Chains A and B, each alone.
Chain A
């Protein structure tokens, strides 16, 4: 990247660029050869969004989530979604305490900063919706009482591609709750060789130490809010949204919420690129992840989300 003419990002004394660079470098050691994926995941969290990772088993979905949580110094918990999972297994239950002669609430695994919802599409819609409501409200209501979730709070959900047997695909409205959907994909030859040669990833995870903590991460999120987004850029975002609404090959256009998500994600991406202003390139970089799961092809000849976004980006001129 090139910074000439733009001021070097001085992130209000927090050394954001440097800190984020370290975070990426750390995660990079565990997840080999996937820098762009890591950057997308990180910008999703910086933009205060939930992340959906969709890929086949064994490419490192869980590892990515766990590594991110560890490096960012955030409390991590994991929920394995199965078809018999109940909402109470996620949110927690009240248990009668014989000592105090009263019911006491035992928080479920959702009470953590980073919650890994593993294979979210294996659970029944009932359990899914309990999860997704918590994501939206940032609080949990159990037995009439409301319990706030920790700050920051992220859900990183993983899901197997939908054409696998025995899954409950997430409905569109719930997919919309995720700021981004990314996939990881197979590592390249070199990375895979290193992966095979090195020790077990889980052991590496244990030896990993946090680069920053929850407080500094919150400060970084606020820095994202200050990234400049000019009218010229908003013109471009609107042109993209209009294009989705006018394109005959799409089932329906994108909502203003999708546009908002795109702007937030692009800001985070700009920060990761050590810039204090958003460029069309930032929008283009995050657009597949932000728009991919929100678009539906008009015909059923199976256009993948990312391909549709690519086509969309190619068809819209930068104003």
Chain B
């Protein structure tokens, strides 16, 4: 069988060139795992060390003298300290480890040194998980571990072993490690919070929405392809124009910048939770780490996840900044019952900086006479020469005036901000909502992927009898943004098309793209689905799930000591099973062989040990020569052994006779 282990005698001399090259290959792979994190000079240095060793192994270069090795070591330590200001911590530690492993490989002399290097390489590989625990990292680290294990196997076996056998043995060994891995995964004590108390630099990249909006600020997100969150719908998936993921509600403004209004927190905190109308939508969100507290939910959430609190404006907020990816379930209703607006809230959402420029005032006064000012403003955006662009001109002094009469170019933030301001001037309470809109459906995993690029801003206006109502002025300018999503819009803009002027079918045809691009897109979906499965099934096993597992195992309140003990017992039991099966397959010798071994052992005590390559007859002749007194007793034993083992005879009576004679055999020394 492929997974069968075979025992080999360890090599009796230094590994050959090929075994050494195997180690160098594994070292290169382990270094490659870190190359994007190491400074360039360090990568170069480590490559140099490995190359040096390669020349030593293959082209007879001499060992570097001690002086050079010590100077290299000193230089490496100084350089790392210089670069990071410390030798501790994640980045500096891994850099130092990498360069030290390189130096160790350079100075290898004995077989022991090779093995020391191998274990350092395993440790270096493990270091990759300090930075990332994604599926990609796990896969790459596993590949490196396979290469390193193959290198150990190659170092431990006779030189001329065929490569295929080495590979087979590697797989057989790793296969046996799987159960141990599982036990460690399930039982290794899981710590709430960051692993090993990592320093603060472990979480530094904050992405996503910010707490304030100045038209132009989401811009950098539009090119950010990172996943913001993934959504799994329990039932029907809402249509694209319903997918408004709200995160923040901004009511305060100075005309240019929108902020969260402090006063708002006093107003009806959670009353909206009970106001859902219509068919509920249930969904689970895999939320990526942001380092902030805002979460996302569809309009209008009615349940609050355990880790979150409800905030005014139908929004959910995490209790702690989100430092790790986490999962939460929400129920939303597409509509909600209107409730009377509190006077304070009304005043807050009507506050707008004055004065208006003359031409804006004229415009506002015109709309004030309309029956439906909201519709009138939207129509204005739609019919006038407004355009959607991701690279709008900079607006400086008077945002509203410049935007409405000069630039007329912008994206969601511009339209939402302008619209909200106009509404306030028209006496309609309105506010800015920031979040995400749309998302891309992943067929491979049946879930919605929302990226940072899908960030969006829209407005809500207060209507009598209808309460807060969503109005998205961007849809009046570029309906594609809502109907087809940000991806499609960006593709269109890249092709020079003008949003709002093409038939949907034409657009779809334009977006269909080439075959290769589509396949690439599909591949990407599968990769994302695999990542999501990894996050859901592997990474999500945290302290709570472990607690639950342990409780199901019978620990009521598992203590660290208990978990540790369970882990040790579990691993020990597995190791015993593996060792037992190995010994069993090795020693499943029949009673005849076992008895013969005992016979040989008895003689061995008198100094007449059977040589490993000595056949029974040769052994007998030696016994007769050395100890004629034992000849008479040995003769029938040897004869029976020969018959039973080599004569294809399996008679129980002869076996019993043989074992009896061996048992009675006494080889007392002279």
Contact = CB atoms under 8 A, between A and B. Distances in A.
B643 A5 contact: yes
Contacts of B273: none
B636 A318 contact: no
B618 interface: yes
Contact of A314 (B613, B618, B620): B613
Interface in B635-659: 635-636, 638-640, 642-643, 645-648
B635 A4 contact: yes
11 contacts: A4-B636, A5-B642, A6-B647, A245-B160, A247-B160, A277-B643, A277-B646, A280-B616, A284-B613, A313-B613, A318-B615
Contact of B648 (A230, A247, A318): A230
A102 B645 CA distance: 63
Given A2-B639, A248-B16, A281-B617, A233 B160 contact: no
Contacts of B647: 6, 228, 230, 276-277
B617 A2 contact: yes
Given A316-B613, A317-B613, 4 more contacts: A2-B635, A228-B646, A248-B159, A277-B642
Contacts of B618: 281, 284
Given A2-B639, A5-B636, A232 B646 contact: yes
B612 interface: yes
B616 A279 contact: yes
A80 interface: no
B161 to A, nearest CB: 6
B620 A2 contact: yes
Contacts of A231: 648
Given A5-B640, A6-B643, A277-B642, A315 B613 contact: yes
A279 B639 contact: no
B646 A248 contact: no
B160 A228 contact: no
Nearest to A250: B160
Interface string B585-620: 000000000000000000000000000111111101
Contacts of B159: 248
The winner among B618, B642, B646 for most chain A CB atoms within 10 A is: B646
Interface string A288-319: 00000000000000000000000001111110
A246 interface: yes
Interface string B12-50: 000010000000000000000000000000000000000
The winner among B158, B617, B618 for most chain A CB atoms within 10 A is: B617
Interface of A: 1-2, 4-6, 228, 230-233, 245-248, 250, 276-281, 284, 313-318
B614 A230 contact: no
Given A228-B647, A228-B648, A248-B158, A280 B615 contact: yes
Contact of A5 (B612, B613, B639): B639
A2 B641 CA distance: 13
Contacts of A313: 613
A279 B613 contact: no
A248 B640 contact: no
A246 B6 CA distance: 13
B160 A4 contact: no
B639 A318 contact: no
Contacts of B615: 279-281, 284, 318
Contacts of A278: 646
Contacts, number: 76
A273 to B, nearest CB: 9
Interface in B153-178: 158-162
A208 B645 CA distance: 42
A316 B617 CA distance: 17
Given A246-B158, A246-B161, A233 B646 contact: yes
Interface of B: 8, 16, 158-162, 612-618, 620, 635-636, 638-640, 642-643, 645-648
Nearest to B8: A246
A318 B613 contact: yes
B287 to A, nearest CB: 56
A298 to B, nearest CB: 8
A295 B505 CA distance: 77
B54 to A, nearest CB: 21
A28 B574 CA distance: 65
Nearest to B635: A4
A316 B611 CA distance: 10
A310 B268 CA distance: 96
Contact of B160 (A1, A246, A317, A318): A246
B646 A279 contact: yes
Contacts of A6: 639, 642-643, 647
List the 3 closest pairs (A to B, CB-CB), nearest first.
A5-B639, A317-B612, A280-B615
Contacts of B614: 318
B626 to A, nearest CB: 16
B403 to A, nearest CB: 81
Contacts of B642: 5-6, 277, 279
Contacts of B648: 228, 230-231, 277
Contacts of A230: 645-648
A89 B4 CA distance: 56
Contacts of B646: 228, 230, 232-233, 277-280
B48 to A, nearest CB: 31
A113 B645 CA distance: 38
A230 B642 CA distance: 11
The winner among B161, B614, B615, B643 for most chain A CB atoms within 10 A is: B615
Given A6-B647, A248-B16, A278-B646, A1 B158 contact: no
A170 B352 CA distance: 106
B158 A247 contact: yes
A230 B615 CA distance: 14
A125 B315 CA distance: 95
Contact of B639 (A4, A276, A314): A4
Given A279-B616, A281-B617, A232 B645 contact: yes
Contacts of A317: 612-613
A231 B647 CA distance: 9
Given A228-B647, A230-B648, A318-B614, A248 B639 contact: no
A121 to B, nearest CB: 30
A111 B506 CA distance: 91
Contacts of B8: 246
Nearest to B645: A232
A227 B79 CA distance: 76
Contacts of B613: 284, 313-318
Contacts of A250: 160
Contacts of A233: 646
A315 B158 CA distance: 13
A231 B650 CA distance: 12
A248 B617 contact: no
Given A230-B646, A232-B646, A318 B640 contact: no
A161 B160 CA distance: 30
Nearest to B13: A248
A232 B638 CA distance: 15
Contacts of A4: 635-636, 639
A239 to B, nearest CB: 10
Contacts of A228: 646-648
Contacts of A2: 617, 620, 635, 638-639
A281 B642 CA distance: 11
B223 to A, nearest CB: 59
Contacts of A280: 615-616, 646
Contacts of B620: 2
A96 B264 CA distance: 126
A316 B639 CA distance: 23
The winner among B8, B620, B643 for most chain A CB atoms within 10 A is: B643
Nearest to B589: A319
Nearest to A1: B617
A314 B8 CA distance: 17
Contacts of B612: 316-318
A223 B159 CA distance: 42
A196 B114 CA distance: 64
